[in-house]
Amino acid sequence: MRGDATLPSTREAKLLGNFRHPFIVQFFASFLENKDFCIVTEYCEGGDLHCYIQRQKDEGKNLTEGHVMEWFIQLLLGVNYLHERLVMHRDLKTKNIFLKDGILKIGDFGVSRILAPPDLATTITGTASYMSPELFSNAGYNTKCDIWSLGCILYEMCSLNRAFDCPKWIKLVSLIVNGPSPALPAIYSAELNDILQRMLRKDPAPRPSAKEILQFPYVTCRGQVLSQWLQEVIRQDRKDSIDEDVARITAAMYVQHLCLC
C-alpha cells in the first residue's frame, strides 16, 4: 500500500471496528507492518462459503431449502445491520462469507464505502461475477448493489454454481446488464425463487432492501426462531443506537474531509 493511502484506510478500519453483530466477522485491531496494512479479526474455523459450496458440488449434494434459508436470513441480518449504518460492503461474494460454529459471518471490508444519503458511489469495484448492472453505468449506485450480490450468493447456495459466469469480461458484463436472471433449481420453492428474481432486478429502484426482504412473509415464517435468538444476542451486545452510529460516522467523515482539503 502506498504511504498516502494508509491514513484513510486506518480511519475506515477504526469505524468498522465499532460494529458488533453475530453475523459479521468481528474486527479487533489494525496496524502497519512495513508496507502492509494489516487487520486482526476473529478466527473462523469453517473457512469460507465458496469452499463449502465447492465441497457440496464435488459430493453432488444440494443444500436443503431449510439450510439455505437459515444462512440466507443470517446474511440478510448482517447486510441490514451494515446498511442501517450507511455502509455498503461492495464486494459481497462467497469467498468473503466465513463459517464459524455453523453460522455465516460477513467479512473482508477492504473496498467498503460509507455512504451518506442521497449520495451515490461511482467507483467500479468488487468482483465481476457479483457486480450489479448499475455498477457498469455512469449513473452511480447505492446499497442496492449489495442486494444484487446477495442474490447471486443465494443462487450459488442453491445451484452450487455462479449466477453469472463467463471467462470473457465483455460477455460477462453483457450477461449481467442484458441477460435474463437465472432461476433456482426445481427442488426449491416458488417463494424462494420469487425472492431471488426480485433481488436480481436490473433496475435497482424496485429491488427490495434487506429490511424489506426480512419482512416478506416467507422469510418471516422461516426466521421466527432465528429472529428470537438474534434479538436476545443483539440486546446484550449492542451498546450504541443506530442514530449514535450515524452521528459518529458522519463526524469522522467530516474530520477526514478537513484533513484531505
The residues carrying an active-site annotation are: 91
C-alpha cell at position 82: 451494515
Nearest to 147 by CA among 92, 223, 66, 69: 92
Nearest residue to 188 via CA among 179, 196, 177: 196
DSSP labels, 190-240: HHHHHHHHHHT-SSSTTSPPHHHHHTSHHHHHHTHHHHHHHHHHHHHH--S
d(CA 230, CA 224): 10
CA pseudo-torsion sign 152, 156, 159, 162: positive
* CA 138 to each of CA 120, 123, 133, 157, 197: distance values in angstroms, whole numbers, following the listed order: 11, 9, 11, 31, 24
Residue that is written with C-alpha cell 455462479 in the block = 162
How far is residue 215's CA from residue 218's CA, in Å, rounded to a whole number?
A: 8
Q: Which of 223, 26, 200, 235 is nearest to 129 (CA)?
A: 200
CA-based radius of gyration for the chain: 18
